[in-house]
Amino acid sequence: MAKTIIGLDKKESEKLVENLNKLLANFQLYYQSLRGLHWNIKGKNFFELHVKFEELYTDSQMKIDLVAERILTLQGVPLHTFDDYIKAGKVPVGKDISKDEEAVELVIESLSELLKIERDILEISDKADDEGTNSMMSDFISEQEKTIWMLNAWLG
């Protein structure tokens, strides 16, 4: 059985890289939607949501880098073109959204889609004994579940 430089099964690592690239692509699309929401939000909740969307896209930017670095650690190549991102995209893409509730619903739908991908990765990384990816996915999942809960509470 061939091993990677960090001692994981090469074939299992290739499968992880494929799925991590799917997550990377979807995070990039989510990030861009958040930027649009941040720029275009209007109404009585402008100040609150403008700041919240900036917080979320800053967090996404950090996660994007972590995912790409994990792909490199597993000896893969991170996707890095918008064409690749769009092909792998599962998260809903928001365009010209300025209403508060519509914007928050888009974020919840996007996070729910990211959670599905992350849970798939967690299952694969667990079987591969890849504690680094396990830990990252567990952290992402717990943060995003809390964010979904809070945004749902905001919606009432």
Average pLDDT for residues 39-65, to the nearest whole number? 98
Q: Is residue 41, in this structure, part of any structural domain at all?
A: yes
Q: Is residue 43, in this structure, part of any structural domain at all?
A: yes
Q: Is residue 53, in this structure, part of any structural domain at all?
A: yes
Q: Is residue 80, in this structure, part of any structural domain at all?
A: yes
Tokens (6 digits) for 62:
């950090």
Q: Is residue 4, in this structure, part of any structural domain at all?
A: no
Class of residue 67 by CB neighbours under 10 A (exposed 0-12, middle 13-18, buried 19+): buried
Give the count of domains, the chain. Answer: 1
Q: Is the pTM of this model over 0.75?
A: yes
Q: How many CB atoms lie within 10 A of CB 7?
A: 8
Average pLDDT for residues 17-46, to the nearest whole number? 98
* pLDDT-derived band at 1, boundaries 50, 70, 90: confident
CATH code, 89: 1.20.1260.10
Q: Are 70 and 132 in contact (CB under 8 A)?
A: yes
Q: What is the pLDDT of residues 63-116, one digit of tens each?
A: 999 999 999 999 999 999 999 999 999 999 999 999 999 999 999 999 999 999
Q: What angle do CA 36, 30, 99 make, to 5 degrees?
A: 40
Interacting residues of 11 by C-beta distance below 8 A, sequence separation 6+: 2
Q: Is residue 34, in this structure, part of any structural domain at all?
A: yes
Category of 46 on φ-ψ map: left (φ > 0), alpha (ψ -120 to 50) or beta: alpha
Q: Is residue 146, in this structure, part of any structural domain at all?
A: yes
Q: What is the pLDDT of residues 5-26, one digit of tens each?
A: 999 999 999 999 999 999 999 9
Q: Any idea which residue has 């579940």 for tokens?
A: 145
Q: What share of the chain is helix, strand, coil (3-state, %, to 5)?
A: 75, 0, 20
Number of residues that make up the chain? 156
Containing domain of residue 146, as a range? 10-155
Alpha-carbon span 154 to 110, nearest angstrom: 16
Indicate the residue type of 24.
L
Q: Report the mean per-residue pLDDT for the chain.
A: 97
In 3-state terms, what secondary structure has residue 150? helix
Q: Is residue 72, in this structure, part of any structural domain at all?
A: yes
